[in-house]
Chain A
Amino acid sequence: MLDISKLLEEIKASPYEELVITAPHTGVVSFGSIKVGDRVIGATGTWGEIPGTPLATLQRERNDKIIRATQKGVVEKIHTELEGTFVEAGTELVRLRHFLSKDEVLGIILKKALYLFEAPERAKYYFAPDIDSKIKSSGSQSVTVHDGMELFIMSRMKREAPLNYSGPDGVIYAVYFQHNENIDSGAPLIGVCPPDQLSLIEDVVVRVQTEWTEQE
Chain B
Amino acid sequence: MDTEKRTQHLTERLTYIKDIFGDKQQENIRLLETKLEEFIQRENGLSVEDKFAALSTLEDLFGFVERNLENELTAMDKVRIVRHSQRICLRDILENVYDNYTEIGGKDENSIDPSMLIARAYITRRSGKRVYHQPVMVIGQEKGHGEEFRNGGSVKPWGNAKALHYMRVAETENIPVHTFVFTPGSFPVEDAPGAAQQIAKNLYEMAALSVPVVAVFSEGGSGGAEAIGLADSRLMLSHGYYSVISPEGAAAIEGRVRGGDRAGAELVEKCAHQLKITADDNVRMGYIDHKIQEPALGARPYHYEFFRSLRQEVIRATDEVVLNVKGFSPFRAMALRRRKGKSIEDLDLENIHVRWSLSRKARARLIAKRHAKFNKLSKSAFIDRRPIHRRVAAWFVEKGWDTYSYFKYDLWRSHQKKLMYAVEEVDAEARVLMDKVKGPWKKITKAIPANTSKADKEKELTMLSQWDEEDQGKGQWSYISPRAKEDRAITCPNAETHGCQDLWAPDLFGEYAGVCNSCGHHFPMEYQWYMHNIFDPGSIFEFNTEVESANPLGFEGFDLKLEQAKNKTGLKSSCTTFEARINNVKVVVATLIAPFRGGTVGAAEGEKFVQAAERAKKKRFPFISYVHGTAGIRIQEGVNGVIQMPRCTMAVRRYIDAGGLYLVLYDTNSYAGPLASFLGCSPYQFAIRSSNIGFAGPGVIKETTGMDIPPDYHRAQKALSRGHIQGIWDRRDARHNLSQALMTMGGRNLYYR
Could you tell me which A residues sit within 8 Å of B by CB distance? 45-47, 49, 60-63, 65, 179-180
Contact = CB atoms under 8 A, between A and B. Distances in A.
Contacts of A65: 491
B46 interface: no
B108 interface: no
Contacts of A180: 499
Contacts of B504: 61
20 contacts: A45-B708, A46-B708, A47-B710, A47-B711, A49-B710, A49-B711, A60-B489, A60-B502, A61-B488, A61-B489, A62-B486, A62-B487, A62-B489, A63-B488, A63-B489, A63-B490, A63-B491, A63-B502, A65-B491, A179-B499
Nearest to B503: A63
A45 B698 CA distance: 14
Contacts of B502: 60-61, 63
Contacts of A46: 708, 710
Interface of A (DSSP majority class): loop
B722 to A, nearest CB: 16
Contacts of A47: 710-711
Contacts of A60: 489, 502
Contacts of A62: 486-489
Interface string B482-495: 00001111110000
Contacts of B708: 45-46
User: Can you list the 5 inter-chain pairs with the closest CB atoms, starting with the nearest?
Assistant: A62-B488, A61-B489, A63-B489, A49-B711, A180-B499
Given A61-B504, A63-B488, 18 more contacts: A45-B708, A46-B708, A46-B710, A47-B710, A47-B711, A49-B710, A49-B711, A60-B489, A60-B502, A61-B488, A62-B486, A62-B487, A62-B488, A63-B489, A63-B491, A63-B502, A65-B491, A180-B499
B485 to A, nearest CB: 13
B417 to A, nearest CB: 47
Contacts of A61: 488-489, 502, 504
Contacts of B487: 62
A29 B733 CA distance: 40
A70 B504 CA distance: 27
Interface string B135-154: 00000000000000000000
Contacts of B486: 62
A49 B499 CA distance: 18
Nearest to A45: B708
A47 B712 CA distance: 10
Contacts of B490: 63
Interface string B710-740: 1100000000000000000000000000000
B666 to A, nearest CB: 23
A142 B298 CA distance: 58
A176 to B, nearest CB: 17
Contacts of B488: 61-63
B496 to A, nearest CB: 10
Contacts of A179: 499
A63 B505 CA distance: 10
A179 B499 CA distance: 8
A86 to B, nearest CB: 15
Contacts of B711: 47, 49
A61 B502 CA distance: 9
Contacts of A49: 710-711
A128 B90 CA distance: 59
Interface in B464-501: 486-491, 499
Contacts of A45: 708
Nearest to B487: A62
A62 B504 CA distance: 10
Interface in B603-633: none
Contacts of B489: 60-63
Contacts of B491: 63, 65
A188 to B, nearest CB: 21
A60 B491 CA distance: 11
B278 to A, nearest CB: 40
A180 to B, nearest CB: 5
A61 to B, nearest CB: 4
A68 B489 CA distance: 19
A65 B490 CA distance: 9
B514 to A, nearest CB: 16
Interface string B78-90: 0000000000000
A56 to B, nearest CB: 15
Contacts of B499: 179-180
Nearest to A47: B710
Nearest to A179: B499
A102 to B, nearest CB: 20
A60 B488 CA distance: 9
Interface string B21-60: 0000000000000000000000000000000000000000
A25 to B, nearest CB: 9
With most chain A CB atoms within 10 A of its CB, the pick from B489, B490, B499, B710 is B489
Nearest to A25: B502
Nearest to A178: B499
A148 to B, nearest CB: 30
Interface string B673-704: 00000000000000000000000000000000
Nearest to B502: A63
A116 B499 CA distance: 26
A105 to B, nearest CB: 24
A46 B710 CA distance: 8
A63 B502 CA distance: 9
B414 to A, nearest CB: 50
Interface string B193-207: 000000000000000
B488 to A, nearest CB: 4
A28 B488 CA distance: 14
A50 B438 CA distance: 74
A168 B517 CA distance: 40
A180 B490 CA distance: 20
A82 to B, nearest CB: 21
A49 B502 CA distance: 21
A63 B489 CA distance: 5
A63 B508 CA distance: 14
A60 B487 CA distance: 12
Nearest to A65: B491
A49 B711 CA distance: 7
B520 to A, nearest CB: 14
B173 to A, nearest CB: 46
A65 to B, nearest CB: 6
A49 B493 CA distance: 12
A63 B491 CA distance: 8
A63 B708 CA distance: 31
Nearest to A66: B491
A142 B490 CA distance: 36
Nearest to A181: B499
B483 to A, nearest CB: 13
A44 to B, nearest CB: 12
A47 B499 CA distance: 19
A37 to B, nearest CB: 28
A65 B492 CA distance: 11
A180 B499 CA distance: 8
A47 B490 CA distance: 24
A47 B504 CA distance: 29
A180 B711 CA distance: 25
Nearest to A49: B711
A49 B710 CA distance: 8
B70 to A, nearest CB: 48
A63 B486 CA distance: 11
A46 B486 CA distance: 37
A47 B710 CA distance: 6
Interface string B392-420: 00000000000000000000000000000
A46 B708 CA distance: 8
B492 to A, nearest CB: 11
A63 B488 CA distance: 6
